[in-house]
Amino acid sequence: MGPRPQPGTPPPPPRPRPAGTRWRSICAAVVLALPASLISAAPAGAEVSHPRQQWLRESTAGLFLHWGMLTAPRHLNCQEWERDVTAGGWSADYWVDEARKLGASYIVLATFHSRLGYARPWPSKIPGSCATERDLLGELVKAGKAKDVRIILYMTDDPQWHNELGTETLDSPAYSAYKGERVDLTTRAGFGMYSYDLFFEVMENYPDLAGFWIDNDNEYWERNRLYEQIREKRPSWLLSNNNEDTPIMDTVSNEQKTGMTPSYDYPQAAWTPMPRLVEADYKLPTTGSWWYDGGDHPVDFRLSTGRYVTNAGSSMKSLMAETPMVNGRFPPDQERFNAFMSQWVPPIRSSLQGTEGGGYMYGGMQPGFWNDGAHGVVTVERGAKTQYVHVVTRPRTDMVRLRDNGYKVTSVSDLRTGERMRFTQSGGHLTILGIRTWDAYDTVFKVQTAGQPYFYDQSALKASASSAREGHPAGDLVDGGFQTYWDGDRRLPVSVTLDLGKRRKATYLAVDQREWSPTYARESFGRPEDSARIKDYRVYVSAHGRSWGQPVRTGALRSARGVQFIDIGEQHARYIKLEVLTTWSGPQAPTFHRELKIDEIRVAYGHPNSLLPPLPLEAESLGNDRDGMARLHLCRSCSGAFEVTGLGGGTRNALTYRDVTVAEAGNHRLQIDHTSAAATSLSVSANGAPAVDVPIAGDNAEVPASTAISVPLRAGANTVTLFSKAGKGPGIDRIAVGPLPPESYVPRTTMTVEPAGMQWAGSGQQSIKVSATLRLDDDDMIDKVRMAPVPLQGWSVQGDAVTATTMRLGQTLEASWTLTSPPGQDVGSVDIPIKASFETLGRPSEVTRQLRVRPRPADRVFMREAEDSRNRLGSSGITNCSPCSGGQKVRNIGGGPDAYVEFEDVTVDTAGTYTLFIDYTVNGDRSFFVSVNGGTPVEAAVSGIGNSTPQTTSIPVTLRQGTNTIKLYNHQTSAPDLDRLSLAK
């Protein structure tokens, strides 16, 4: 290795780095995840797995501490802050002990933070920002080493908050004198040089530190090979990067993800596949800042424990942020949570530490949504012989039922109590029965297994595909490894064909999709994200691979993490073709749209079964009455391996359950698991009441599907009779009865309205064409669906409401209308609701989006928001901005040719020169480049402080009559954030 630069000396010439910093763009070059004993030191720049990471891989959690000179009460003088820290009794041991209560193996100390005064809690010889005389960092490292808690130091790349309070916190003259040259620390380049020197000072003085947690990148660091030099000087230290997957880093940290259902399931928003080390970085106080702002903000125990468990269930590390006060102590609510965790975690520690997430590359049963409202995750010991089922949201009944992923279960016990649990296996499910004791936050069952006996060996399979991206062939689907994957090359529909080698039995496919996208549409730091997973699909089988006939299964897969299953009944074929028709991501997230990636597809030919005890309310139970032609029928994918068929033609052919017992009278949720090859209907009568007719979707006569309705039942025993008025009714696998979901429950939907964003209307009567799409994202069916605008007084609507009798997972409802404002007057400020109403289990619900219309100022001939859906954003993204027009703006413009905002259909009545007004926010000095109709760009240079105050600049532009295109970009460096554009003559 060449000589290493020391603080105060010029850096060596830069060495070229691989093009691109995103993991997904160079993942073919990374080191595969192998046991640590088999990995030698890999080249810097490609270290997904390395022995130095082992301690973190075995960890569950870390403690993130934001603390510094601007911790409340804020200090604007470094010496006064240090005096109050010491006088208040600050203790390194206190922090280490509190971390251990949380089960944290490491502490990330964030004092050199842009919003905390760039404080350095160590004696520094490098002037430039606050530095203490007392070696607080050294004391913390020493205390952590004594109690096996590692310390990682936070470093920021961002100088923009240097004078947030009106007092300069960065001392450019002092650092310039130290360097012997003029350096402005308030610029990214100058701050990069200063912080670069600090990295080396810390590495030299604190060899027992565990690494650096780096809040994004600085161009100066990258240009001068900072990370490579850290690797050379401190090869055992870890590097973590926030919100970006930089290949040389050991860890990717995902900051404060929200918006998922349930709210605690943090991994739904993650976008980095295993075996990459991933942190979930979140606040424990549910309100307030990342640092102590003077308030004792509450800690939501339910949310925080749920995050802790679900992160472990996805092999993610919970980096929990607490807010120490000036004296280092935590506010009382945080201390109470830490004390609670010190008692709550130990009984289930074996299921959280030293385990991996189940349902992914390490094996294990399927996590996610289970029966009767239950939700949870699975953790596994290496080899997956021992698995832990974590029920984070308990079901509304006394049992838990989840897909077993082909594992033969030998025993189940409650991990906390040691109680042996009754269980049954059939139809691909494990059901744990008779659960009487539920933990308030996580009921954990220890499940012993004896392998997956009904899967074909991957080495016996071959795969081909209708398309594949170079470097990711179809063969990667069956190579037994999760580090390689097939990529569909942005083609939809696309198909993959599995060759079993000879004609064999097949019952289902286990599909492991690449976990590189969130499970739902969201915006993260101004960039649109969405799920790249399979939505609509068809499955065909063939004896020779030339003709395929009709599909044996058609349906939609849920957008969810972990292994997903496609049941196909009992098929006998050599070839199986999975045709993917659509994926969940929409075009608003171009990074994920049509980007299908699959790690592995496995083929099963049967299910593990247990003889006793049977699952309650099986159709074949001896206590049921079967009238007329109703009879037992073998169904290997059904629960208990049997169903009742022969329903049809009315009440003479019926199945009656005689002992459906509930504790309380009232309406209950009745779930019917049924099979049918074609669409039909089922009639349900409870206690002899008039029957309710239920539509049944047809797909495969050997694969159970579920339909749920609300039925009134009395306390105690009830009878439930099932029959069909159709010529041929469905087969009945089983029923399940439980309480209705809470009144607040609404199945998850996605509703979009276009145009989106504030609409600026000119003078006089106006007509606006609006379209809407409703998509069902949940397993529960919705009924009596209706979608239409709600016209305001004086407005007219051209176009009818669109309706659907029922909607199932992944189905959409679409319509367009023309809305016309009152005649003879200008448009006022109005919000027009677009409403979708529907029923779930007999309960009404609705989803509403607003079309926001405002009058355009009289001196403007055109005005449009940057976030308007008619614009093209490239890789830029929309983010909230409360002071901005319309409450949003577009950020992440510039830095490359793909990050821009393009306004199409900018219409003017006459050709000529116009004034283009650009509303923006910015921190520092930045520029837009503006191109009209593809012409020579004009630079619009602007300056500002804080990036949260909208400002306006203007330039002249020449437009042609009719429609024009205006594009704002900056190919070289970051541009300001854009609020809106307007034109004046």
Write the CATH number for 268.
3.20.20.80
Contact between 526 and 876 (Cβ < 8 Å): yes
Could you tell me if 844 and 916 lie in one domain? no
Q: What is the pLDDT of residue 877?
A: 84
Q: What is the pLDDT of residue 586?
A: 86
Could you tell me if 729 and 762 lie in one domain? no
Could you tell me if 183 and 83 lie in one domain? yes
Q: What is the pLDDT of residue 26?
A: 31
Could you tell me if 107 and 204 lie in one domain? yes
Could you tell me if 209 and 180 lie in one domain? yes
Could you tell me if 552 and 570 lie in one domain? yes
* Integer Cα distance of 964 and 960 in angstroms: 7
Q: Which domain holds residue 717?
A: 625-739
Q: Is the peptide bond before 883 cis (omega within 30 degrees of 0)?
A: no
Write the CATH number for 781.
2.60.40.10
Could you tell me if 411 and 489 lie in one domain? no
Beta bridge partners of 844: 839
CA-based nearest residue to 215, from 82, 286, 319, 371: 319
Is there a domain that residue 441 lies in? yes
Average pLDDT by consecutive 10-residue portion of the chain (985 residues)?
A: 34 34 33 32 57 96 98 97 98 98 98 96 98 98 98 94 90 98 93 98 98 92 96 96 89 92 96 94 96 97 98 98 98 98 98 96 97 97 95 97 98 98 96 97 98 96 98 97 96 98 98 96 81 98 95 96 97 98 90 96 96 87 95 94 96 96 96 96 97 94 95 97 97 96 93 93 95 95 96 94 96 97 94 97 95 96 95 88 93 91 96 98 91 97 86 97 98 94 97
Is there a domain that residue 20 lies in? no
Is there a domain that residue 29 lies in? no
Could you tell me if 580 and 679 lie in one domain? no
* Integer Cα distance of 841 and 912 in angstroms: 60
DSSP E strands in 286-434: the ranges are 316-322, 356-357, 368-369, 375-380, 386-393, 400-403, 409-414, 422-426, 429-433
- Residue that terminates a domain, selected from 800, 832, 855: 855
Could you tell me if 731 and 848 lie in one domain? no
Q: What is the pLDDT of residue 555?
A: 95
Could you tell me if 470 and 569 lie in one domain? yes
Is there a domain that residue 920 lies in? yes
- Single-letter amino acid code for the residue at 304: S
How many other CB atoms are there within 10 angstroms of residue 510's CB atom? 20
Number of domains observed in the structure of the chain: 6
> What are the strands of the beta sheet with 631-634, ordered from one edge?
631-634, 642-645, 731-739, 666-676, 700-713
Write the CATH number for 896.
2.60.120.260
Q: Provide Rg for the chain, Cα atoms.
A: 31
Residue 693, C-beta contacts closer than 8 angstroms, at least 6 positions apart: 681, 682, 683, 725
Contact between 748 and 716 (Cβ < 8 Å): no
Is there a domain that residue 18 lies in? no
- Residue that terminates a domain, selected from 835, 855, 875: 855
Is there a domain that residue 11 lies in? no
Q: What is the pLDDT of residue 306?
A: 98
DSSP state of 363: B
Q: What is the pLDDT of residue 10?
A: 36
How many other CB atoms are there within 10 angstroms of residue 527's CB atom? 19
* Integer Cα distance of 531 and 517 in angstroms: 5
Is there a domain that residue 7 lies in? no
Give, for 343, the enclosing helix (H) or strand (E).
helix 332-344
Is there a domain that residue 26 lies in? no
Sign of CA dihedral 197, 202, 205, 208: negative
- Residue that terminates a domain, selected from 316, 346, 376: 346
Q: What is the pLDDT of residue 28?
A: 33
* Integer Cα distance of 520 and 529 in angstroms: 8
Q: What is the pLDDT of residue 1?
A: 34
Could you tell me if 405 and 543 lie in one domain? no
Residue reference for tokens 């297994």? 449
Phi, psi of 204 (to 5 degrees): -70, -40
Q: Is the peptide bond before 551 cis (omega within 30 degrees of 0)?
A: no
Q: What is the pLDDT of residue 17?
A: 33
Could you tell me if 785 and 658 lie in one domain? no
